Structure 1
Amino acid sequence: MARKQVLRALPADWPVSITEATNGRQAMDAIRQGLGQVVLLDLTMPEMDGYQVLSALRAEGLKAQVIVISGDVQEEAVRRVHELGALAFLKKPFDEAELRQTLGKLGLLAHPGQTPQPRAVQNTAISFHDAFRETVNVAIGRAAALIAKVLGVFVQLPVPNVNILEVGELHMALADASNSQQLTAICQGFIGGGIAGEALLMFHDSEITDIALLMQRESADYSDLEMLLDLSSVLIGACLSSIAEQVDVGFSQGHPQILGQHAAIDELIRVNRKRWKKTLAVEISYSLEGQDISFDLLLLFTEDSIPRLTHKLAYLMN
């Protein structure tokens, strides 16, 4: 879906032929064949990410002019791609005018007298899963940028997993999280515009001391749980606000609570049993570079939310 958005935004009068790649490895193969004089590059990709592509281009001495288009908007991400040779960085979501302006500034648009070449653009249908995954991808990048500032670290972003879970699978996953002696799970409900659900953020207890060091906790009165609740509010809030902005709704958020303490798993399941027959589940595993710290964010949308989200994302899927 990200590629389709870029294709739509390319100037219609730009005399180029276009090659698409689904991951960094395919991109490198195409560039080696001379098919990538100008490269519009994402960062979060399977098999070989954008940073690895930029490093490989430099190592192999390949002369590609690279513009990065990414939802990873950490200041360190922008700095790194420029250091690795990217000419420009566009933050997702971008628009046609922004891309054209960037291409123009870099002298990459058509010169007078050149005529556009016919483009064989594949008009592939975009599924709801693909559209929603790209929406979440932008959201987790916004959240990572905030966490990076709070903790003073670089956050490594995954490709998010989007699945439909049956109620039994969901309950088993939540029960495992709440019963674990090694995890602290924080949940926060949200609702708005016909869309509702729960966000769960899970921390490994063995890493809480290291998180406290990064947050430079100075007061003994500031407990581990208070610290995790504050961190959860930042991360969950940033994710949900970005998703809400992209689908043009407003979310009201409940207070974050410790799963298994203030919010028992049995009560969470009982309250949501009817609306969680099937659940749209998004799994995101953040890790911090140079630190033995990772945490998992699970966004659970009720089955009734799926038609509304599908309607809201229809403009991306067509």
Structure 2
Amino acid sequence: MTVSVLICDDSGFARKAMARSLPDGWDIDISFAEHGQQAIDMIKEGKGDILFLDLNMPVLDGYQTMQIIRKEDLPTLVIVVSGDVQEEARKRMLALGAVDFIRKPIDNEKLTTILAKYGIYTGATTAQKREQTNLLSENADEAEKLDAFRELANVAMGQAGENLAKILNEFIDLPIPNVSLLHSSELHMALDEVNRNKQMSAVSKGFISTGISGEAIILFNDSNVQSMASLLGDDISNNDGSGEIEVLMDVSNILIGACLNALSEQLNVKFTHNTPIILGLHRDLHELMNDQTSRWEKVLAIEIAYAISKHDISFELLLLIPDQDVDRVFNRLVFQKGSEDE
């Protein structure tokens, strides 16, 4: 009997990756939804015996979607597939009725084992990918490439958030990453929209591999530093600024280190990191970012706005990759070539 499978993710790249990871011998009819509301409508149409559900999406996110499924007792079995791998996220979704939780990027063998565990798929647990074709063509347009980069950032963001959540013992709110290919002047304007009239402090850490380089920057609103220090158990009452610097360095090392490690795994490259440096304390955003944004004419900018709502804390991780390296990143992500193979 054919099983109706629904894959719900706002990323087309992620939807294709999920579909390709399903066992080749499984008799299924696959449908796709771009957000939770579409998924709800399709389940009601009988298109979702099994739902693979992402968490971070527009319109209705995974939590809201799961709440509706539970409230309306919709006939679907939900498996969460997410880059947000915090234990609290897992607990919330399981409490709402999801049967399991899979980390992105998908481990095929683990997926088939989970399907077998619940009697969903009874074939070999070493089943191969449903398709062996590439997720995107080499002639993908800019929108398709940005979607792929957004999914790359989503996975890296989730792993970094998980590390910070463990250390702080707090739930980290993870957004949909904002990914754009911008001229340096446009980057200034984009950041201004988010951080208008705020004094900021920033830490920068460069990274490089064969053919790919970039810079990771943590932007911290000054009003949040004291709250973050309290969560870390640090004392910043001294007047020489060393306490604030220590807080910035601690958070930066946690987030940037985990994020770059996740990027390395997905791109199958090894990044060399330089020592993090303080770009400035209590300064206007333009002053902090002027040298960084003027180094390259055009950059791939990945902006991730982390938050800890319980303590009214927010801060940003900004990944900048120069335009000349963007195609190499894309080739490494989609085709696993183009950087260290050159």
TM-score (norm 1): 0.86
For the residues of structure 2 that align with 1:227 and 1:44, how far apart are their CA atoms? 28
Q: Does 1:134 align with 2:154?
A: no
The one of 74, 80, 92 aligned to 1:62: 74
For the residues of structure 1 that align with 2:309 and 2:195, how far apart are their CA atoms? 27
Counterpart for residue 114 of structure 1: none
Q: Does 1:241 align with 2:261?
A: yes
- 2:280 aligned counterpart, secondary structure: coil
Counterpart for residue 310 of structure 2: 290
Taking the TM superposition and a 5 Å limit, the aligned residue runs for 1:109-124 are 109=121
- 1:305 aligned counterpart, secondary structure: helix
TM-score (norm 2): 0.81
Q: Tell me, yes or no, if the aligned pair for 2:56 and 2:175 is still in contact at 8 Å.
A: yes
How far off is 1:303 after superposition? 1.5
**72 and 245 in structure 1: CA distance in 2 versus 1, 3 angstrom threshold:** same
Aligned-residue identity in percent: 42
Q: Does 1:149 align with 2:166?
A: yes
Considering Cα pairs closer than 8 Å and 6+ residues apart, tell me whether 1 or 2 has the greater RCO.
Answer: 1
What amino acid does structure 1 have at the position aligned with 2:276? P
What amino acid does structure 2 have at the position aligned with 1:224? E
How far off is 1:170 after superposition? 3.2
What amino acid does structure 2 have at the position aligned with 1:239? C
Q: Does 1:79 align with 2:91?
A: yes
Counterpart for residue 170 of structure 1: 187
How far off is 1:243 after superposition? 0.6
Q: Tell me, yes or no, if the aligned pair for 1:178 and 1:185 is still in contact at 8 Å.
A: no
For the residues of structure 1 that align with 2:232 and 2:246, how far apart are their CA atoms? 12
User: Deviating runs (4+, > 4 A) in structure 1?
Assistant: 123-126, 171-181, 218-222, 261-273
Counterpart for residue 60 of structure 2: 48
Counterpart for residue 29 of structure 2: 17
How far off is 1:167 after superposition? 2.4
Q: Tell me, yes or no, if the aligned pair for 1:178 and 1:265 is still in contact at 8 Å.
A: no
- 1:190 aligned counterpart, secondary structure: strand
After the TM superposition, which of the residue ranges 182-191 and 80-89 deviates more from structure 2?
A: 182-191
- 2:69 aligned counterpart, secondary structure: helix
For the residues of structure 1 that align with 2:82 and 2:303, how far apart are their CA atoms? 19
Counterpart for residue 6 of structure 1: 18
After superposition, the C-alpha distances for 1:89-110 in whole angstroms (9 at most, x for unaligned) are 1111123222222111101126
Paired residues in the alignment total 306
**192 and 75 in structure 1: CA distance in 2 versus 1, 3 angstrom threshold:** same
- 1:310 aligned counterpart, secondary structure: helix
Counterpart for residue 158 of structure 1: 175
After superposition, the C-alpha distances for 1:153-173 in whole angstroms (9 at most, x for unaligned) are 101111111111112223566
How far off is 1:308 after superposition? 1.3
Q: Does 1:104 align with 2:110?
A: no
**56 and 272 in structure 1: CA distance in 2 versus 1, 3 angstrom threshold:** closer
For the residues of structure 1 that align with 2:327 and 2:205, how far apart are their CA atoms? 22
**267 and 10 in structure 1: CA distance in 2 versus 1, 3 angstrom threshold:** closer
For the residues of structure 2 that align with 1:175 and 1:44, how far apart are their CA atoms? 24
> 5+ unaligned residues in a row in structure 1: which ranges?
112-122
How far off is 1:192 after superposition? 1.4
What amino acid does structure 2 have at the position aligned with 1:10? L
For the residues of structure 2 that align with 1:177 and 1:82, how far apart are their CA atoms? 34
After superposition, the C-alpha distances for 1:73-98 in whole angstroms (9 at most, x for unaligned) are 11111111111111111111123222
Q: Tell me, yes or no, if the aligned pair for 1:71 and 1:92 is still in contact at 8 Å.
A: yes
After superposition, the C-alpha distances for 1:10-37 in whole angstroms (9 at most, x for unaligned) are 1222222222101111001111222111
How far off is 1:269 after superposition? 5.1
For the residues of structure 1 that align with 2:334 and 2:72, how far apart are their CA atoms? 41
For the residues of structure 2 that align with 1:31 and 1:238, how far apart are their CA atoms? 36
Counterpart for residue 257 of structure 1: 277
Counterpart for residue 119 of structure 1: none
For the residues of structure 1 that align with 2:234 and 2:36, how far apart are their CA atoms? 40
How far off is 1:270 after superposition? 5.4
How far off is 1:247 after superposition? 0.4
Counterpart for residue 116 of structure 1: none
What amino acid does structure 1 have at the position aligned with 2:176? V
- 2:121 aligned counterpart, secondary structure: coil
How far off is 1:6 after superposition? 1.1
Q: Tell me, yes or no, if the aligned pair for 2:184 and 2:293 is still in contact at 8 Å.
A: no
Counterpart for residue 206 of structure 1: 223
